[in-house]
């Protein structure tokens, strides 16, 4: 499979969708959406409820909202897009749980789209869709190259416990596949994997622009797993990669397989009992998948995919500017 061609097809869909959205906006809306590519705004990302640059769904008409969702769909797989929409719907559930005295507005229309640089130009450009518990970041080069990280999904509640959506788990696979891997480990392996009896209160990488020394290889490494356990480790990695557009995910999974997964690590912290605070990460040469479920009585998930080489297209940008000078 030609990954450049797969990326080019995805970039074409993104470009067309972004241009269609921009054409639907009035001058004031376009000014909110269109931001410079260079500078700190593009990499100033977060997953908490806060003010953000860009244009929220709340300030769009129905057609503009639909065009925004079409753009978002080009940056995710079908299952990833469904998960993102489910996470947004959980804002309504959370509003009901917290009631009228809640600290933050909980609104499925408080999700913002931003476009960085000139869409479809021969210069790097990008776009972001972000709000509470969602941050999708794409950086585009030369009409055919694409950087797709960071990708953050969160879920509060992790499992809806009351009401019409009772039982809903937006990020079920992120927990279940990791627990499957943990259950396959024997006593010595579990001792290696579980590095702490208490889980951290959030993912360790938080919203850093690029991951450096926030995390390190520790825990149980792939070379000390059986073949079946390494297969489950790969399945867990795929849970995160499968958020990406299908063709891009295929290329990304190929890149991960080309690294030495015998050196990748699986780390667990906190309780091993369902319903109690826990944390894990999978880390390899070129990636980190990190997960935490400790807040709100261990019913609040943060789960992120980071590219250790190319978050926000950093490596692609270096290569691009080196080639152009």
Q: Quick one: tokens of 287?
A: 């990636």
pLDDT of residue 101: 83
pLDDT of residue 142: 84
Integer angstrom CA distances of residue 137 from 26, 71, 150, 253: 24, 12, 6, 18
pLDDT of residue 4: 59
Q: Which helix (H) or strand (E) holds 301?
A: strand 301-307
Instruction: Supply the pTM of this predicted model.
Output: 0.96
**Intervals of the chain under pLDDT 70:** 1-6, 320-325
pLDDT of residue 319: 79
Give dist(CA 203, CA 207) in Å, integer: 9
pLDDT of residue 2: 38
């Amino acid at each position: 499979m030609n990954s450049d061609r797969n990326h080019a097809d995805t970039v074409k869909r993104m470009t067309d969708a972004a241009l269609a959205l921009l054409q639907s906006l009035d001058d004031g809306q376009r000014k909110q959406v269109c931001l410079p590519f260079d500078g700190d705004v593009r990499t100033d990302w977060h997953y908490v409820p806060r003010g953000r640059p860009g244009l929220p769904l709340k300030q769009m008409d129905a057609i503009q909202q639909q065009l925004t969702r079409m753009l978002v769909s080009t940056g995710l797989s079908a299952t990833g897009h469904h998960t993102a929409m489910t996470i947004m719907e959980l804002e309504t559930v959370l509003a009901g749980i917290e009631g009228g005295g809640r600290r933050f507005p909980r609104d499925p229309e408080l999700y913002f789209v931003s476009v960085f640089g000139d869409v479809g130009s021969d210069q790097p450009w990008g776009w972001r869709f972000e709000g509470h518990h969602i941050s999708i970041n794409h950086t585009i080069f030369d009409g055919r190259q694409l950087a797709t990280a960071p990708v953050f999904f969160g879920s509060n509640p992790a499992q809806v416990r009351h009401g019409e959506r009772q039982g809903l788990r937006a990020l079920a696979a992120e927990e279940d596949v990791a627990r499957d891997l943990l259950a396959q480990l024997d006593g010595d392996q579990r001792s290696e994997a579980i590095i702490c009896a208490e889980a951290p209160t959030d993912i360790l990488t938080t919203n850093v622009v690029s991951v450096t020394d926030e995390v390190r290889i520790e825990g149980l490494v792939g070379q000390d797993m059986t073949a079946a356990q390494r297969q489950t480790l790969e399945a867990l990695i795929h849970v995160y990669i499968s958020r990406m557009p299908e063709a891009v995910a295929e290329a990304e999974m190929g890149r991960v397989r080309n690294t030495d997964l015998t050196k990748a690590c699986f780390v667990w912290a906190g309780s091993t009992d369902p319903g109690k605070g826990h944390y894990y990460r999978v880390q390899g040469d070129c990636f980190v998948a990190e997960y935490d479920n400790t807040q709100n009585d261990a019913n609040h998930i943060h789960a992120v995919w980071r590219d250790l080489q190319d978050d926000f297209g950093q490596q692609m940008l270096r290569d691009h500017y080196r080639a152009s000078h």
